[in-house]
């Protein structure tokens, strides 16, 4: 009996080579998977045949290469008295079983890797949530501590109120909210004065508000005219002054406005700030508008930002209380009178989270 080895890229191909070379009388002795190169693999079958009955074998394949198809063999003489034992089925399918086990292991590994990735993602999300909760807790603690030692809010008590601040913070819309609240809800006699003749459409905007609310409006083309218009409305309960939104770096314009405001008695100046302003920006604006002698802070656009710790920190740092909060664009609904409790709540949670709670 002689044992020969055959290779094939697949088990089927290797068995085909055995049959082609040795015929149906071959007996498979062993099978195994072998490596070809760095990533390749092949199957090797060891087959035996009785040398008395076997046809002459073809040359063995060159090492490292698959065997080419052999030359046609002369038909083997049909056995008369003795039949070759049937192939061992278990041995034939053993490589297939091994391949199936390998595939299952690969699938499990893929599933495990995917599960590990998902688990890591969940853990990262949980870790981030814990960190956010920790930061929120620290912010709330700091806000509460500052709030206890500071006068955060104070009502407006003056007969003349002027809103000052940089461009784009919403001074005109906030003036309209205050005027509508005072005239329509509190039934006070309200008059408006605007110095905003610099901005295109500024006068038209506040005139529209004045007509809708039903209050008189005076337009001061120059800051020096402000005191005369205030005297004209001396019998009114509340006079609201809308100043021009000029660059805070325009020191000459601020000084000119400061001189005009200094001529008005019983005046309360509110420095108007966007809620998204950082502490550094707020401090810088306070320094630049110091010539106007602001006595109150007013925050706008709370609907456009999240937690606003400056609602508590700025009054403490600048020694200026807050009177009003603009929480949206609707006139006059989106205006709140500031209280210490409300400021602390918004400083920690922001407008939307506080409303949800």
- Is the Cβ–Cβ distance between 197 and 223 less than 8 Å? no
Residue 82 pLDDT level (bands cut at 50, 70, 90): very low
- At 181-217, the pLDDT tens digits run 999 999 999 999 999 876 667 788 899 999 999 999 9
Question: Which run of H or of E encompasses 272?
Answer: strand 267-274
Question: What number of other Cβ atoms are within 10 A of residue 85's Cβ?
Answer: 7
**β 238-242/190-194 pair status:** parallel
- At 295-336, the pLDDT tens digits run 999 999 999 888 889 999 999 999 999 999 999 888 888 999
Q: Is residue 115 part of a domain?
A: no
**Does the pLDDT at position 152 exceed 80?**
yes
Q: Is residue 77 part of a domain?
A: yes
Of the three residues 63, 87, 111, the one that is the final residue of a domain is 87
**Does the pLDDT at position 151 exceed 60?**
yes
**Quick one: DSSP state of residue 42?**
E
Please indicate whether residue 274 or residue 348 has the higher confidence score (pLDDT).
Answer: 274
Q: Is residue 120 part of a domain?
A: no
Residue 57 sits in which domain range?
2-87
Q: Is residue 352 part of a domain?
A: yes
Residues 338 and 250 both lie in one domain: yes
Residues 191 and 76 both lie in one domain: no
The DSSP annotation for 119-174 comes to HHHHHHHHHHHHHHHHHHHHHHHHHHHHHHTS--B-----SEEEEE--TTS-HHHH
Residue 352 pLDDT level (bands cut at 50, 70, 90): low
Please indicate whether residue 265 or residue 30 has the higher confidence score (pLDDT).
Answer: 265
pLDDT at residue number 73: 43
Residues 226 and 335 both lie in one domain: yes
Of the three residues 31, 54, 87, the one that is the final residue of a domain is 87
Give the count of domains, the chain: 2
Residues 233 and 335 both lie in one domain: yes
Which one of 50-54, 59-63, 102-106, 166-170 scores highest in mean pLDDT?
A: 166-170
Residues 58 and 166 both lie in one domain: no
Residues 349 and 218 both lie in one domain: yes
Residues 223 and 350 both lie in one domain: yes
pLDDT at residue number 83: 44
Residues 190 and 67 both lie in one domain: no
Domain CATH code at residue 260: 3.40.50.300
pLDDT at residue number 12: 83
**Does the pLDDT at position 89 exceed 60?**
no
Q: Is residue 248 part of a domain?
A: yes
291: Cα separation from own chain's centroid: 41
Residues 202 and 301 both lie in one domain: yes
Mean pLDDT, residues 40-62 taken together: 66
- Is the Cβ–Cβ distance between 292 and 258 less than 8 Å? yes
- At 115-141, the pLDDT tens digits run 555 555 655 665 565 455 555 555 555
Q: Is residue 147 part of a domain?
A: no
Of the three residues 87, 104, 120, the one that is the final residue of a domain is 87
Residue 142 pLDDT level (bands cut at 50, 70, 90): low
- At 8-50, the pLDDT tens digits run 888 888 888 888 888 877 777 788 888 775 557 788 888 877 6
Q: Is residue 124 part of a domain?
A: no
Q: Is residue 66 part of a domain?
A: yes
Residues 205 and 306 both lie in one domain: yes
pLDDT at residue number 81: 44
């Amino acid at each position: 009996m002689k044992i020969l080895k055959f290779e094939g890229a697949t088990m089927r191909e290797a068995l085909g080579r055995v049959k082609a070379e040795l015929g149906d009388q071959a007996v498979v002795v062993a099978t195994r998977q072998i490596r070809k190169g760095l990533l390749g693999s092949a199957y090797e079958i060891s087959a035996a045949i009785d040398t008395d009955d076997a046809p002459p074998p073809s040359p063995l394949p060159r090492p490292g290469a698959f065997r080419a198809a052999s030359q046609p063999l002369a038909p083997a003489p049909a056995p008369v008295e003795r039949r070759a034992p049937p192939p061992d089925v278990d041995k034939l399918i053993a490589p297939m079983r091994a391949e199936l086990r390998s595939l299952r292991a690969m699938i499990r590994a893929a599933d495990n890797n995917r599960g590990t990735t998902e688990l890591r993602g969940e853990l990262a999300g949980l870790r981030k949530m814990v960190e956010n909760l920790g930061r929120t807790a620290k912010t709330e603690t700091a806000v509460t501590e500052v709030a206890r030692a500071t006068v955060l809010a104070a009502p407006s008590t003056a007969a003349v109120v002027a809103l000052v601040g940089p461009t784009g913070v919403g001074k005109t819309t906030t003036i309209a909210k205050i005027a509508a609240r005072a005239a329509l809800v509190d039934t006070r006699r309200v008059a408006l004065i605007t110095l905003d003749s610099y901005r295109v459409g500024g006068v038209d905007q506040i005139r529209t508000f004045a007509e809708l609310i039903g209050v008189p409006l005076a337009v001061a083309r120059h800051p020096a005219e402000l005191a005369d218009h205030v005297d004209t409305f001396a019998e009114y309960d509340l006079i609201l002054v809308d100043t021009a939104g000029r660059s805070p770096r325009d020191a000459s314009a601020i000084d000119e406005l400061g001189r005009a405001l200094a001529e008005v008695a019983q005046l309360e100046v509110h420095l108007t700030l966007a809620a998204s302003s950082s502490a550094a920006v707020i401090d810088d604006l306070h320094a630049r508008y110091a010539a106007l002698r602001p006595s109150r802070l007013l925050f706008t656009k709370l609907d456009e930002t999240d937690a606003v710790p400056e609602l508590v920190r700025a009054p403490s740092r600048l020694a200026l209380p807050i009177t009003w909060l603009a929480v949206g664009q609707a006139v006059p609904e989106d205006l709140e009178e500031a209280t210490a409790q409300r400021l602390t709540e918004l400083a920690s949670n922001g407008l939307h989270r506080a409303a949800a709670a």
